[in-house]
Every structure is written in C-alpha cells, then in structure tokens.
Amino acid sequence: MSTDGWLADTRTSYDTVAACYTDQVRDLLDRTPYERAVLTLFAELVGATGGGPVADVGCGSGRITAHLHGLGVDAFGIDLSPAMIELARRDHPGLRFEVGSMTDLDLPDASVAGLVAWYSLIHLPDEEVGPVLAHFRRVVRPGGPLLLAFHVGDGSRLKTQGYGGHPMKVHIHLRRPGRLAEWLEGAGFAVEAQLTLRSAESALGGILFARCPTDANEDRI
C-alpha cells in the first residue's frame, strides 16, 4: 500500500463523514470518565514541565483539543481532513486548528510541550508507525509527555461504511500495548505507563504515556 494511497483514502473518507462523525462523538467524553481522568493527568504532566503549546495530532473535529484547553492546556489541533478542520474551527472558535499530516509533521524541532494522538494512529500501516513516532520525538521538547490512545487487539480490517452510513475506505489496525511501547522506545521515547480500558470510546482501548527524555533521563537505569 503506497503512502499516497492510504493517506488519500483516509482524507477522503473523513471529509465524507465529517459532519456525522462530529455529531456522534461530540459528547463522548461525558460518558467516558476514565478517559477524562487520563486527559486530566496528561494536562497535569504538561503543567509540571512548565507548560507551553501542545499538539493534538489527528484531532478530528477538535473535541480533545477543546477539552484540554478547558483543563488549562495551550492545545492546538492538526488533522489530515480539511472538512474536519473546518468543523473544528466552527465548533471551537478561538482555538488553533491546522490541516496537516502526521507523516510529514510541519512543526519545528522541540517546539511543543507535549503531544496527544487520540485514536489517530489506528489508520497507520505498520511500516509508517516508526517514522511517525520519530516525527513526534523530533517536535516534543525534552521532558515533554506523549499520550497515545488506540484500539487493542491483533490484525486489521477494512472499514467501508460508517458514521451515518456514508462510504469509507480506511483500514483499522488493532495493536497490543507492548508492540506500541517497543515502537516508542525505538523512536527514543521513555515509556512510563500503560493501561487498557473498556468504554464507549473503544471495546478495548489502550493508553500509553511516554516522555521525551532529557539527557539525565536518558542515562537513568
């Protein structure tokens, strides 16, 4: 599968379902207390390192970006789908949203205090995960936290319909926490915590906290 092919399919699919997707997930955090607790912890970790801009990569229509902002985080969103970004700007005026791809993250080195990828790695083919995490490592400043959420399991499936019955063409990749932890460590992150949970967000979701090491942390054993 070429990079251009799956990226184009993902962009087109989410452009197509953007309005229905936004309506369906708008209040999802109201029904997911464990996820809210995870995001609160992430906000606290960002604050403990001095704060600063935080990237929500694969932000969709901006619900996680807005929630983090409500927790006092200087969060901004990036998404592949122009239609999603348009809805994010409409629903969350005053917050920063940009069209962009995690495969070619247009952010300066060490420019963000933290980064969230909330169920946004699920469409990445295996061969793209390492390079994307290397981009994350490049843009997160030393000491900054990384939060990943993903669907736990094995294998992949092709999703051809969703969110209001509209046509889609995206692969959903399920992964084990240990595998993603290995990829994170290979990209230079220090994995600090992992957990799984069941909620309205995912039949079995995975959460990984990692940190971009400082020189001192890199020497720690």
Q: Is the dihedral of CA 119, 123, 125, 131 positive or negative?
A: negative
Could you tell me the CATH number of the domain that includes residue 178?
3.40.50.150
* CB of 152 closer than 8 Å to CB of 174: yes
Residue 167, in any domain of the structure: no
Whether residue 80 is contained in a domain is answered as: yes
The arithmetic mean of pLDDT across residues 85-92, rounded, is: 97
Domain presence at residue 2: no
Between CA 162 and CA 170, with CA 167 as vertex, the angle to 5 degrees is: 75
> Is residue 42 a part of any domain in this protein?
yes
CA distances from 28 to 44, 46, 124 (A): 22, 23, 23
Q: Say what the pLDDT of residue 220 is.
A: 44
Residue 195 counted as domain residue = yes
| Structural domain count of the chain | 1
> With left for phi above 0 and alpha for psi between -120 and 50, is residue 101 left, alpha or beta?
beta
Helices (H) and strands (E) in the chain, counts: 7, 9
The boundaries of the domain holding residue 98 are 29-152+173-218
Checking if the pLDDT of 218 tops 80, the result is no
The chain-wide mean pLDDT, for the chain, equals 93
Q: Give a yes or no: residue 11 inside a domain.
A: no
pLDDT tens-digit readout, 122-145: 999 999 999 999 999 999 999 999
In a domain, 36, yes or no: yes
Asked if pLDDT for residue 221 goes beyond 50, the answer is no
Q: Rounded to whole angstroms, how far apart are CA atoms 176 and 154?
A: 7
Q: Cα separation of 42 and 147, whole Å? A: 7
In which band, very low, low, confident or very high, does the pLDDT at 161 lie, cut at 50, 70 and 90? confident
Residue 1: pLDDT above 50?
no
pLDDT of residue 2: 45
Q: Is residue 198 part of a domain?
A: yes
CB 194, CB 206: distance < 8 Å: yes
What is the distance between the alpha carbons of residues 29 and 199, in angstroms, rounded to a whole number? 10
Q: Confidence class of residue 4 from pLDDT cuts 50, 70 and 90?
A: low
Query: Which has the closest alpha carbon to 192: 126, 130, 148?
Result: 148
Kindly tell me if the per-residue pLDDT of 38 is higher than 60. Answer: yes
Q: With b meaning 16 or more CB within 10 Å and e meaning fewer, what string describes 122-159?
A: bbbeeebbeebbebbbbbbbebbbbbbbbbbbeeeeeb
Evaluate if pTM is beyond 0.85: yes
